[in-house]
Amino acid sequence: MQNKIQLMVDTIEEKIINARRDFHKYAESGWTEFRTASIVARKLKDLGYDLLIGREVIRAEDRMGVPSEEVLHMSYERAKIQGAELEFLEQMKGGYTGVVGVLDNGDGPVIGIRFDMDAVEVEESIDENHYPYLNGFSSVNEGSMHACGHDGHTAIGLGVAEVLMNIKDSIKGKVKLVFQPAEEGVRGAKSIANSGVLDDVDYMFGGHIGIAQNSSGKLFCGMGNFLATTKLNAYFKGVAAHAGISPEGGKNTLLAAATGTLNLQGIPRHGDGITRINVGKLVSGSGRNVIPSEAYMEIETRGSSSKLNKYMEEKTIKILKSCAHMYDVELTIKEMGSAENEYSDEEAIERVKFAAQKIKSLREIIDRPVGFGGSEDFSYMMKKVHKNGGKATYILFGSDIKGPHHNGKFDFDEKDMINAVKVFSVLAYDILKK
Amino acid sequence: MQNKIQLMVDTIEEKIINARRDFHKYAESGWTEFRTASIVARKLKDLGYDLLIGREVIRAEDRMGVPSEEVLHMSYERAKIQGAELEFLEQMKGGYTGVVGVLDNGDGPVIGIRFDMDAVEVEESIDENHYPYLNGFSSVNEGSMHACGHDGHTAIGLGVAEVLMNIKDSIKGKVKLVFQPAEEGVRGAKSIANSGVLDDVDYMFGGHIGIAQNSSGKLFCGMGNFLATTKLNAYFKGVAAHAGISPEGGKNTLLAAATGTLNLQGIPRHGDGITRINVGKLVSGSGRNVIPSEAYMEIETRGSSSKLNKYMEEKTIKILKSCAHMYDVELTIKEMGSAENEYSDEEAIERVKFAAQKIKSLREIIDRPVGFGGSEDFSYMMKKVHKNGGKATYILFGSDIKGPHHNGKFDFDEKDMINAVKVFSVLAYDILKK
Amino acid sequence: MQNKIQLMVDTIEEKIINARRDFHKYAESGWTEFRTASIVARKLKDLGYDLLIGREVIRAEDRMGVPSEEVLHMSYERAKIQGAELEFLEQMKGGYTGVVGVLDNGDGPVIGIRFDMDAVEVEESIDENHYPYLNGFSSVNEGSMHACGHDGHTAIGLGVAEVLMNIKDSIKGKVKLVFQPAEEGVRGAKSIANSGVLDDVDYMFGGHIGIAQNSSGKLFCGMGNFLATTKLNAYFKGVAAHAGISPEGGKNTLLAAATGTLNLQGIPRHGDGITRINVGKLVSGSGRNVIPSEAYMEIETRGSSSKLNKYMEEKTIKILKSCAHMYDVELTIKEMGSAENEYSDEEAIERVKFAAQKIKSLREIIDRPVGFGGSEDFSYMMKKVHKNGGKATYILFGSDIKGPHHNGKFDFDEKDMINAVKVFSVLAYDILKK
Amino acid sequence: MQNKIQLMVDTIEEKIINARRDFHKYAESGWTEFRTASIVARKLKDLGYDLLIGREVIRAEDRMGVPSEEVLHMSYERAKIQGAELEFLEQMKGGYTGVVGVLDNGDGPVIGIRFDMDAVEVEESIDENHYPYLNGFSSVNEGSMHACGHDGHTAIGLGVAEVLMNIKDSIKGKVKLVFQPAEEGVRGAKSIANSGVLDDVDYMFGGHIGIAQNSSGKLFCGMGNFLATTKLNAYFKGVAAHAGISPEGGKNTLLAAATGTLNLQGIPRHGDGITRINVGKLVSGSGRNVIPSEAYMEIETRGSSSKLNKYMEEKTIKILKSCAHMYDVELTIKEMGSAENEYSDEEAIERVKFAAQKIKSLREIIDRPVGFGGSEDFSYMMKKVHKNGGKATYILFGSDIKGPHHNGKFDFDEKDMINAVKVFSVLAYDILKK
């Protein structure tokens, strides 16, 4: 059967690639995946899956970093124009762009697989050698680009959906294909994890394509040493004044933010493990001769445990508050996203290895590589499943990438999507087979 | 005659006010005053002035802070649509938006009066009580607003032009009415001062309307203790990296800029007089989880003498370079504008007082108020005239303003324009009378 | 009589010089002038002055920056060994080292003249060309040196005392010769001003010798544009930790103090006038591999008005507190000294000029030079006298100095002391003459 | 035999304890261990060891952080007074305070054991509960205290020396007991490692007593994941100026050092592993009203590999240089000490475990605990031995400590010294037994 599955995947290779290119062309950023999610819903429904959409799988109060009403509205309207499936759109209004396809085959284990759908806020390269540009499927949506491979993830999910439906007579139990919005900025997973949709899951898998040069055909299993992370925005509000006439009259938000930047960067390292801090963006001031009365900072903290990330987050907030006090300016801090540190289970890892060994097109299986310093809100799903006694792990599907992740030249090798479909399908079959 | 002049001004009051409102509505920022300047040229020509336009009065290499080609082009096209006088537009292409009207009456003193024409890059208030909004002459050009009264200055200039032409038989010598672009950011005057157009000027006057609450009807004479100033932009270029995976791989421009900001702010005060420093704008970084690879700073230095401003400027450059070196990032510094410190002559001040005492609608004449901490590139014109043995001074025409200068609610009392026209006209007459 | 006074001074020139060298040799820092003050008391008593000593002229609660009990005790014992006049020592115990000599000649004006007596905490030069070293009167008290000329001031005071007693039959009213401790660090004058001893003074004078190269024989009158100033010490207390094992365990006072230093230095300039800030000393940390758990800062603020100094002081305290909060460390701030900004009266200035014009050995009289950026706690005495309707001013006695003030090579020309004695004596005579 | 050895150690327990207390009382800081080292030499010689002393075991050019001539001289003279063994003193003059005792028993393995002898620059507690104080063996040498247990290490070394000499007929090969100066600040080991004395060593062992509460009787084997480290001093030299009169005239070293401190603290974390930075001491400025013209910093960097430490060191130097340039001040950087990161060999670890299991008084043996964040210049000896094909490891002898290491209340449980003597002796016997 495992061989049959692989042949089945090869048959739909072109379909998977086309789906990926379609998603790539109409890239949609986090919480605005109206077109993408509605097309996913259409395909799943047509295949025969039961659908859970929008607030059925997204807990409103756990969404983070949701764009403004205006952006949501404009994206919604754009999706209509760009061919969204209108039938499902209403349920997603306001940015509830999650879809779960359920295949319920009676008693047996429940398996969940997560696919994230959102694009990155990056401008796509117009370099002649950039494959999507050359082949006419570059993003048409200014400021959004699939520069992290989630177009591929969504296409993989649809491939897996087709395969598992094809072999549904050979399996028992339940399949939940979780299409998640807003993984970028680690904003979406928590709201799905807390929606209840994963409460019965016994085995939860997630994965990512890409990562490194010269890795096509390699599979890295047992990932899960993600760094816990918190994403914060800080908004300072002061008072403007003429910098020549009355420099003392201002309340200078830039001095507060610059002092904050240096002191955040200097938060002491921690003896217990890895920590990270980054002020990724600072925008302050309205004009050269005016004391800056506004400042905006995008900050992230990370830690090799949730405790260490908490240490970083608390120091960050203390520093920001002290800087605001120093310059007598107002400060608002907003949490824009977060992810936990969470472990991969031995059993789940072994199952992945077991399945992967059967995939002929894989070149190498690498067990538990050392941490890559990244963060993933899939950790929320792992935690939820663990809490209920389930097992979870995360897989990297190596692919020769053309530019770094989150870079306008990013591209992966589409063949590695095919490998991923095979791995997930065989893995699910192995667990669910009658 | 001085009384006759005042009556003459009263007659054209409405014309002056209408001109001001027209300029206000079609506000144009520095070096893009195509419509404004071309209308000025038309009026001057119609009155009978000889015209000097564009490169005839602007020395190309001394222009500072010129906008991009694209901005110049778009503003040029906009001016056409908004009713610019096409006859003069060609000569102004590329941002050469200066106009000088010359009335040559043979032997006698040469008097120059300067009027600046540019708007500020501020969004105009849509508050119901905002007079221009209420009366339908708010700026229609997004991002440009006459929030510093230069619309009034230009209208004053046209008023003076009309009066002096009317009384031309009573005067001898030469009148040069200098309509200057790009005073905001102190970018334009140097190029006019160095064009040669002022080389024969014996008496040079400039002025400003507004400044303070409850000052309508007051005239402050003998200004000229402007702070010398330099406007600098700094551009840092570094290397991006993933802040979680390889924080050491980046070259962090934000840390360079934040360190620069704090150390610029801390440049030691100077025992010899007043100094100022402001980092008015800082923009850095592309995203939360990326080491910031770009930073942009808008900086200005000031000093109560050109020497003190030089001290500040040199320290600024040294600090910026050291910060760039510290973080191994590239740095480009551009000078965007500058003004000198320059003195008012006793004789010129006395002449202003002498003329002002005859203006009945003035409430009070205040002699040499203490410095106001501002800067003016009119200082370049004063310096040039001084160099050739001429006299120069600067006048403030008090006016009850509704919001601070450079604020979206700024507005002045239009009656004070009328006072200004009277003062300049009488002043010119007193000097040039046969 | 004015000529007679000058001849009288010439007669005691050697005595004045010897007194100065004696004080120089046994230099005593602020509040420890036991030997100096007791010798002053002896001389005044022998001349016939009534004495007010110690707490009679010093208000305990207004003393600032008093050294530790231990330092006071050791200095007291040292004074005994170095020839202090034991008769007066007891009254000065605990650092009450002020002396006022009173010559009460019945009805008439009351004139006060202030002489400060303390040395600076500087090591004296052992350069062969250093005059005190060459002539064997270098300071024998390690760490204390008369590097600001107060040895000269004290000797001038004794010279004036002798002259005025000699001419007592020609004068009426009252003379108060005020010998003040602890002018360095502006710590002593307030306690004398508030003791009541100046409450009846009609004319108060103070002065300083030295200041600038090539100024011997010049007299600068009408000083008084001192900068108001506040002297603060900040003590941070944190928690040490091993910098390798548990860097997060410390509470780092050095980071708090370094952040404080940069932000203090960056307190915005003030549109209303001159301000100053200096962190003159920072000591933090116990060892290389320990998170620094202590930090000590010596800070001073200044302003051209007491309001501006207050602005600086308040910002300073706010910044320090914010830094302490940022690093969760304790902070104690102590005021170590202060001086006001105070003006010289026209009448007092005119009296100085009038007297000075009669002094033949003066080369030039300079009226109201521009501010020198320094501070003087004599301002407290001026303020007190002004409050009671009296007049006050401050005089600089130019002298060719060999090194900057507060430098180990400082020395002045002793002849300028003689000028000062003449000026003060003639000035007093002019006011008090029968 | 292993049991016999343990009984033998128990017999000399009191001798070991007395030796420790004697060393504790006469604590000597790095490179000044004249008394300690000479007594060690006397004991070794009396036991029958061949001696290598001073330059025979210390390579002059590899000594780091050597105190001034004056300190060396005074310590040398103090040692004479405090009972140093004069016979060996001459060879140690100038701070060559290393001693190696050699027991050459013919063919066989060569084993080296290192004992460090120096005290820490800490003031010993006079708390009544402080055991050394209570028992009258507190340090009599002001500013030096055995607050890191090296008094115990030296005593352990003498105990091991006695045992091995007692059993010399049962062993073959060679024993080298290495008594090292200046481990604090990681200054001494490199000079011994490079002297040649370890070139023939097959097995090299080092160890430390103390570390943690509630660890008496525990042995931690297989340490060796020390952090590589570099110890740097930075000296800034600027120009003083009067902070009120001419703040611009100074070249401010404190601003350079404070900027340096914040930016050093902010050196980016490294994706490849652990890094550390600490500015442990900053001293700057001479007085409150003077622009600080001197600054002194004590800095250390660390890294979990020598490469990572190099990264930190290079960034540190770049930042310091940039700060000096920013404030136009001179900078001198001196390397005061360094240690490498080095690994423990499996074989060596196994040998320690094998021996330790026989020691009855040990409570627990812990294999390869995770890194403790500390640094040890024993790493230089490990590296040298590794280079010649030998094996090396490092042992922690747990002991209930009364205060943290490097704290004035530090004290360990003397019984744990006895355990250490047993472990080293049995370990040596196991390797060398005939």
Of B266, B274, B275, the CB nearest to C266: B266
CA distance C221 to chain B (A): 20
Judged by a CB distance cut-off of 8 A, whether residue B274 touches chain C is yes
Q: Which residue of C has its CA nearest to B265?
A: C266
Hey, what domains does chain D have and what are their CATH numbers?
2-226+340-432 (3.40.630.10), 228-338 (3.30.70.360)
Average pLDDT of chain C to the nearest whole number: 94
**DSSP annotation string for B223-257:** E-BPPEEEEEEEEEE-B--BTTT-GGG-B-HHHHH
Judged by a CB distance cut-off of 8 A, whether residue D252 touches chain B is yes
Residue with tokens 């002559």: B345
pLDDT at position C71 is: 95
Q: Which of D322, D327, D328, D329 to mutate to test the interface with B (most CBs of B within 10 A)?
A: D322
CA A360 – CA D171 distance, rounded (Å)? 61
Q: What is the pLDDT of residues D146-157, one digit of tens each?
A: 999 999 999 999
Residue D184 marked as a ligand binder: yes
Closest to B422 in 3D by CA, of B162, B191, B178: B162
Written as tens digits, the pLDDT of chain B (434 aa) is 989 999 999 999 999 999 999 999 999 999 999 999 999 999 999 999 999 999 999 999 999 999 999 999 999 999 999 999 999 999 999 999 999 999 999 999 999 999 999 999 888 988 889 999 999 999 999 989 999 999 999 999 999 999 999 999 999 999 999 999 999 999 999 999 999 999 999 999 999 998 777 789 999 988 767 899 999 999 999 998 889 888 999 999 999 999 999 999 999 999 889 999 999 999 999 889 899 999 999 999 999 999 999 999 999 999 999 999 999 999 999 999 998 888 889 999 999 999 999 999 999 998 876 556 678 999 999 999 999 999 999 999 999 988 888 888 999 999 999 999 999 999 999 999 99
CA A423 – CA A15 distance, rounded (Å)? 18
Return the number of other C-beta atoms located less than 10 Å from residue D46's C-beta: 11
Judged by a CB distance cut-off of 8 A, whether residue C274 touches chain B is yes
Counting as contact any 3 or more CB pairs under 8 A, the partners of B are: A, C, D
CA distance B152 to chain A (A): 21
**DSSP annotation string for B341-370:** -BPPPHHHHHHHHHHHTT-TT--EEEESPP
Q: Is the pLDDT of residue D302 over 90?
A: yes
Judged by a CB distance cut-off of 8 A, whether residue C263 touches chain B is yes
Which residues, including other chains, have CB under 8 Å from residue A321's CB and lie 6 or more apart? A331, C325
CA C418 – CA C400 distance, rounded (Å)? 14
Written as tens digits, the pLDDT of chain C (434 aa) is 889 999 999 999 999 999 999 999 999 999 999 999 999 999 999 999 999 999 999 999 999 999 999 999 999 999 999 999 999 999 999 999 999 999 999 999 999 999 999 999 888 988 889 999 999 999 999 989 999 999 999 999 999 999 999 999 999 999 999 999 999 999 999 999 999 999 999 999 999 998 777 789 999 988 767 899 999 999 999 998 889 888 999 999 999 999 999 999 999 999 889 999 999 999 999 889 889 999 999 999 999 999 999 999 999 999 999 999 999 999 999 999 998 888 889 999 999 999 999 999 999 998 876 556 778 999 999 999 999 999 999 999 999 998 888 888 999 999 999 999 999 999 999 999 99
Q: What is the pLDDT of residues B332-380, one digit of tens each?
A: 999 999 988 888 899 999 999 999 999 999 999 988 765 566 789 999 9
CA distance B265 to chain D (A): 12
Q: Are B88 and B223 in contact (CB under 8 A)?
A: no
Binary contact (B269, C269; C-beta < 8 A): yes
Closest to A380 in 3D by CA, of A219, A198, A143: A198
Which residues, including other chains, have CB under 8 Å from residue A129's CB and lie 6 or more apart? none
Burial class (CB in 10 A: 0-12, 13-18, 19+), C207: buried
Please give the span between the terminal C-alpha atoms of chain C, in angstroms, as a whole number: 12
DSSP code of residue D345: P
CA D131 – CA D409 distance, rounded (Å)? 9
Residue D153 marked as a ligand binder: no
- Chain C residues with beta carbon closer than 8 angstroms to that of B271: 373
Q: Are B177 and B115 in contact (CB under 8 A)?
A: yes
Question: How much is the pTM?
Answer: 0.88
Judged by a CB distance cut-off of 8 A, whether residue A271 touches chain D is yes
Region D74-100 average pLDDT: 97
Closest to B422 in 3D by CA, of B1, B4, B6: B6
- Chain B residues with beta carbon closer than 8 angstroms to that of C269: 269, 274-277
DSSP code of residue B273: B
**DSSP annotation string for D356-374:** HTT-TT--EEEESPPP-S-
Which residues, including other chains, have CB under 8 Å from residue D57's CB and lie 6 or more apart? D98, D99, D100, D178, D192, D195, D197
Binary contact (A322, C326; C-beta < 8 A): yes
Write the single-letter amino acid at C322: S
**Residues 111-140 in D contacting B (C-alpha not used; CB under 8 Å):** none
Binding-site residues of C: 148, 150, 184, 208, 406
Tokens of C292: 């620094």
Binding-site residues of C for Mn(2+): 148, 150, 184, 208, 406
3-state SS of A249-312 is: HCECHHHHHHHHHHHHHCCCCECCECEEEEEEEEEECCCCCECCCEEEEEEEEEECCHHHHHHH
pLDDT at position D33 is: 98
Tokens of A13: 């290779």
pLDDT at position D183 is: 96
Counting every residue written for chain B, the total comes to: 434
Judged by a CB distance cut-off of 8 A, whether residue D322 touches chain B is yes
Judged by a CB distance cut-off of 8 A, whether residue A266 touches chain B is no
Judged by a CB distance cut-off of 8 A, whether residue A276 touches chain D is yes
Strand partners, C157: none
Binding-site residues of A for Mn(2+): 148, 150, 184, 208, 406
CA distance B38 to chain A (A): 28
CA distance B236 to chain D (A): 16
Judged by a CB distance cut-off of 8 A, whether residue D373 touches chain A is yes
Q: Which of A211, A255, A265 to mutate to test the interface with D (most CBs of D within 10 A)?
A: A265
Counting as contact any 3 or more CB pairs under 8 A, the partners of D are: A, B, C
Asked whether the CA dihedral C356, C358, C364, C365 is positive or negative, the reply is positive
pLDDT at position A370 is: 58
Q: What is the pLDDT of residues D269-290, one digit of tens each?
A: 998 899 999 999 999 998 898 9
Counting as contact any 3 or more CB pairs under 8 A, the partners of A are: B, C, D
Closest to C305 in 3D by CA, of C265, C333, C330, C270: C270
Judged by a CB distance cut-off of 8 A, whether residue D310 touches chain B is no
Binary contact (A282, B299; C-beta < 8 A): no
pLDDT at position C215 is: 87
Residue B184 marked as a ligand binder: yes
Q: Which residue of C has its CA nearest to D279?
A: C288
Count CA within 13 A, CB hemisphere, residue B247. 28
3-state SS of chain C is: CHHHHHHHHHHCHHHHHHHHHHHHHCCCECCCCHHHHHHHHHHHHHHCCEEEEHHHCCCHHHCCCCCCHHHHHHHHHHHHHCCCCHHHHHHHCCCCCCEEEEEEECCCCEEEEEEECCEECCCCCCCCCCHHHHCCCCCCCCCCECCCCHHHHHHHHHHHHHHHHHCHHHECEEEEEEEECCCCCCCCHHHHHCCCCCCCCCEEEEEEEECCCCCCCEEEEEECECCEEEEEEEEEECECCECCCCHHHCECHHHHHHHHHHHHHCCCCECCECEEEEEEEEEECCCCCECCCEEEEEEEEEECCHHHHHHHHHHHHHHHHHHHHHCCCEEEEEEEEEECCECCCHHHHHHHHHHHCCCCCCCEEEECCCCCCCCCCHHHHHHHHHHCCCEEEEEEEECCCCCCCCCCCCCCCCHHHHHHHHHHHHHHHHHHEC
Judged by a CB distance cut-off of 8 A, whether residue D321 touches chain A is no
Give this complex's ipTM.
Answer: 0.85
**DSSP-H helix ranges across D83-238:** 86-92, 131-134, 150-166, 189-193
Q: What is the pLDDT of residues D179-189, one digit of tens each?
A: 999 999 999 99
Q: What is the CA radius of gyration of chain C?
A: 23
Judged by a CB distance cut-off of 8 A, whether residue A74 touches chain B is no
